[in-house]
Amino acid sequence: LAAESGRTTLICDLDPQGSTTFYYRVKPKIRRKAKGLLRRGKPIERSIKGTDFEGLDLLPADFSHRELDVVFAGKKRSNRQLARVLKPLRHEYDLIVLDCPPTINVLAENILHAADHLLVPLVPTTLSIRSYEQLIGFVADRKERVTPPSPFLTMVDRRKKLHRELVESLQDGVSDLMTTVIPYRSEIERMGIERQPLPAFAPRSDGTRAYLALWEEIDRKLLK
């Protein structure tokens, strides 16, 4: 959706499971493996792949990304390594999206320092809310100033009473919560089967309309 709006976009798949890389049918291989994310210039630029969508590139994941936390921790200014590597790419793209594993570690610290905005998918379950509260505490404990998270509700099934109750509670109690709610829909799960973004194979679906509304809200509130 960002690329369709005219922004040259790069997705960096930092999750060793490589879900985004799989969805976009890109070979999960980067030069120099995890260590390639420590060097600016050619090692990282040569690893970037095009996708089937105009204006959208991908830095694919590799299973060696599971070592990123250890690799970063062994460097001076360990929490600034990712920002350093990505800095030259800021001149090549209008938007860089960091797709991150749900962990709180040295990689998370790097993401906090590299990102201008932090979007957090929030599922209306007690464990998801607990994880979000841990993230808020982690951000608050940083000595350096970092961007506060902007959560959005996803996988919401309004047929479930617990979901309805938690959504209402979160909308009343969570600051900076996006107004757009992503519903639970079977077509969203089909992205793993189709191996395409939802708007590409189900452009008129409820899920696509929800994601379009979310993108427009992100564009309006954060990027502009």
> Using one digit for the tens of pLDDT, what is the confidence trace for 95-151?
999 998 887 888 888 888 889 999 999 999 999 999 999 988 888 887 777 777 899
Average pLDDT of span 189-198: 94
The model's confidence at residue 55, banded by pLDDT at 50, 70 and 90, is: very high
Q: Which amino acid is at 206?
A: D
Cα–Cα distance measured from residue 105 to residue 25, given in angstroms and rounded to the nearest whole number: 29
Average pLDDT of span 54-81: 75
Give 5-28 pLDDT, tens digit per residue: 999 999 998 887 888 989 998 876
69 Cβ neighbours under 8 A, 6+ residues apart: 103, 105, 106, 107
Average pLDDT of span 25-45: 62
Task: Spell out the alpha helix ranges (H) of 157-218.
Answer: 161-173, 186-189, 191-194, 198-201, 206-218
pTM given for the model: 0.88
The model's confidence at residue 164, banded by pLDDT at 50, 70 and 90, is: very high
Lowest-pLDDT range of 43-47, 119-123, 218-222: 43-47
Cα–Cα distance measured from residue 122 to residue 103, given in angstroms and rounded to the nearest whole number: 14
| pLDDT over threshold 70, residue 217 | yes
Rg (CA), the chain: 18
Closest Cα to residue 142, out of 178, 106, 102? 106
| pLDDT over threshold 60, residue 31 | no
Q: Which two tokens stand for residue 142?
A: 């940083």
The Cα angle at residue 174 between residues 172 and 177, in degrees rounded to 5: 100
Question: Tokens 């922004």, residue?
Answer: 7
- How high is the mean pLDDT of the chain? 86
Q: pLDDT exceeding 70 applies to what percent of the chain?
A: 87
pLDDT of residue 142: 75
Closest Cα to residue 121, out of 142, 90, 143, 100? 100
154 Cβ neighbours under 8 A, 6+ residues apart: 121, 122, 123, 181, 182
Closest Cα to residue 15, out of 92, 77, 69? 69
